[in-house]
Structure 1
């Protein structure tokens, strides 16, 4: 089977259902950025995090694939539209709380960095924030239907990625880099 179909050569792409959208449509931008975030998570995993963090990152990748499918399914009754639920969000919150308990309290802002894996998690966090902004934009367009849990999931995920980056540094024995204002 060939990987190319030539059906997108006109600047349109298919979404779930029979509809085709311009490749710069807000819906395509939103799920394309979620796909980019998933790739960034895959790169973070390649830097050999500890088993617990790697398992969490793998679970996040699976969730992101589901979230992308939900964005590609604009039909409120569609198969994928409502697949991200409050349970997904609760799992992220539980992970944030567990990791935060193991870290020293923050007394200042920190710069993205430290170990390679933590640095990549910070990159993923910034992509997550962009995805969140794009999904908010999509949700505010007329005639668009975006399930609220998608927005909450991305918001919570960016918090988790921040805490995860700190945790990965901590487990690697690498200190966070404090930001100091140059007055």
Structure 2
């Protein structure tokens, strides 16, 4: 490809990352395998799964508004990650207020989830299944954020990981609430190796 042809290429690909490096704003050039880059990407994935739950879950308007606010918070986290904590140029930082809002939402929606023991299988309604999936992605993002905090203790805000911890709790509560009218799929320890029952047409065959 000639230089003239490249000057007409769209701006959404630059080939700048073709060597395995990426620029994360104030952190400069980092390996795409760096824990900070991984944490940034995991937050992006968590945000995307929230969007799927909002679009496909048939959720009540108030929960959609809550999740829309969460999506904005996740962008706040990504913006926080791009600027080292020792810099005064950040547009936003994750602070205790972000976490307090999640805790208020957990307390509020927890009233719609009568059993919060966790002894159920993910699923039930479509909404609950999607929220459960989003919860697991949020958990993974939290682990990635803690890895970034551990690797970059002087420049990464640990409040980002704490926020994600609370977010996974909120998603758990919302998933349980989404099954309130239909019931959960209860965990039955060891059922797959229990003596077989042959009197039901609905028995699974594995």
Fold in common (TM above 0.5): yes
- CA distance in 2 between counterparts of 1:105 and 1:41 reads 23
CA 1:135–1:166 in structure 2 vs 1: closer, same or farther (change >3 Å)? same
- Contact 1:75/1:81 (CA < 8 Å) preserved in 2? no
1:20 to 25, 29, 45: 29
Q: Unpaired runs of 5+ in structure 1?
A: none
Deviation at 1:81, TM superposition (A): 7.5
Gaps of at least 5 residues in structure 2 are 1-9, 192-206
Q: State yes or no: 1:72 paired with 2:72.
A: no
Counterparts of 2:39 and 2:73, CA distance in 1: 15
Q: How many residues are treated as equivalent by the alignment?
A: 181
Asked if the contact 1:66/1:80 (under 8 Å) is kept, the reply is no
Q: CA RMSD in A?
A: 1.9
Report the TM-score, using the length of structure 1 for normalisation: 0.90
Q: Deviations over 1:117-144 (max 9, x none)?
A: 2111111111111111111111112554
1:141 matched to 2:151: yes
The within-5 A match list for 1:26-175 is 26-47=35-56, 48-80=58-90, 83-106=93-116, 109-141=119-151, 144-170=154-180, 173-175=181-183
What is the CA deviation profile of residues 70-100 of structure 1, one whole-angstrom value per residue up to 9, with x for unaligned ones? 1122242243386111111010000100111
Larger Cα-atom Rg: 2
Return the TM-score normalized by structure 2: 0.81
CA contact (8 A) 1:108 1:178 kept: no
Contact 1:81 1:147 in 2 (8 A): no
